[in-house]
Amino acid sequence: MGVFAAMEKGQSVTPVASRQIAEAPRTASGLLLAADVGGTYARVGLVEIGGKAPSVSGYRKYACADYPSLTTILADFLGTGAPARVDRAAIACAGYALDDLVINANLPWQVSLAEIRRTLGLDDLLLVNDFAAIAYATEYVAQRDVVQIAAAAEPMQGPVLVVGPGTGLGAAVRIPGAVSPMILSTEAGQSALTPSTAIEMEILRLLLRDSTHVPVEQVLSGPGLANLYAVIGEMRGVASKRLTPHEVTDAALIAKDAVALEALQVFCGWLGSVVGNLVLLYGAQGGVYLAGGILPQISDFLLRSDFVERFRDKGPMRALLERVPVNLIEHGQLGVLGAAGCYLHRRRTP
């Protein structure tokens, strides 16, 4: 079992995780509250910083919809999992901070940084984009922690793209640096959806009935898969009830629903095309890590789908994309580690 799988099950962290955090420059010793917050789940842990072997403990996963605010989740965690007072925190959260508030279309509640500081009694709070944190942490991912989607016979060096469909579509780029990497946050999920096949063009035409802008994540996300199911059902003249993303996935994987199967096939192919576009846009020749809650559930299906072919189908750029490896990771634990690592780098002492 890899370190990230062990953490998800609440087990103690292996020395690999300790080394990951230890390699970052240190601040004063003590405990750091680290959280990875998405539209569906919040993952929270304590990170021991300073000393010879920093470690992560008390890891818990919360369903966001079960709590009235992020503050409530963090307070619950500290009330049950912190052995001592914690006055520093790093939160990896979907969206961006605008003044005091986090701007995000997928969180179930508003996030106020001032409220978190005040309620938890924090002296220092750092907010980073959730996929930026994952991008930071991928520098330390071991091969045993990934599923290879596309191999590269002659991989290149360069920026690394982290992208994935969850409640929305997140993306960030890790750019290597002489001392530490630079992380580029993006809002790729809000960019305009671009079709490449006849069925994708028809789907986009139908989605444009309701809006002049159809973002990528309206199709390439968990809710986006449910949108695909509804639109394809309309196209095929099939009267179908509204299914959740999990119900669409389950129906597709056992091939009991032709519309669900087609929706998942379109999803995987379109995802490959968009990820290939992002590699070209950001010059991410160092590789791609796919993250996001839905992908680990469909990893076998993804391997059999048109994802790789559509990823590489970029005309004369195909030769380049054939040298870009694509790997699948389970992202939750990486977000916690990445939030802690970002904090250590940004708050490091001389």
- Domain spans, the chain: 3-137+332-346, 147-328
Range name among 158-162, 320-324, 336-340 with the lowest pLDDT average: 336-340
Q: Over pLDDT 70: what percentage of the chain?
A: 87
| pLDDT for 4 beyond 90 | no
| pLDDT for 225 beyond 80 | yes
Residue entry with tokens 């049950």: 80
Mean pLDDT, the chain, integer: 84
Average pLDDT, integer, range 20-45: 70
CA-based radius of gyration for the chain: 20
pLDDT at 76: 94
Residue 292's region, left for phi above 0, alpha for psi from -120 to 50, else beta, is left
- This prediction has a pTM of 0.81
What would the pLDDT profile of 201-221 be if each residue is shown by its tens digit? 999 999 999 899 999 999 999
Query: Rounded distance, CA 159 to CA 73, Å?
Result: 34
Q: Which architecture does CATH list for 3-137+332-346?
A: 2-Layer Sandwich (3.30)
pLDDT at 38: 83
Torsions phi, psi for 253 (to 5 deg): -70, -30
Domain 147-328 has CATH 1.20.140.10: no
In DSSP terms, 102 is beta-bridged to: 97
Residue entry with tokens 């539209």: 39
Residue entry with tokens 């842990």: 45
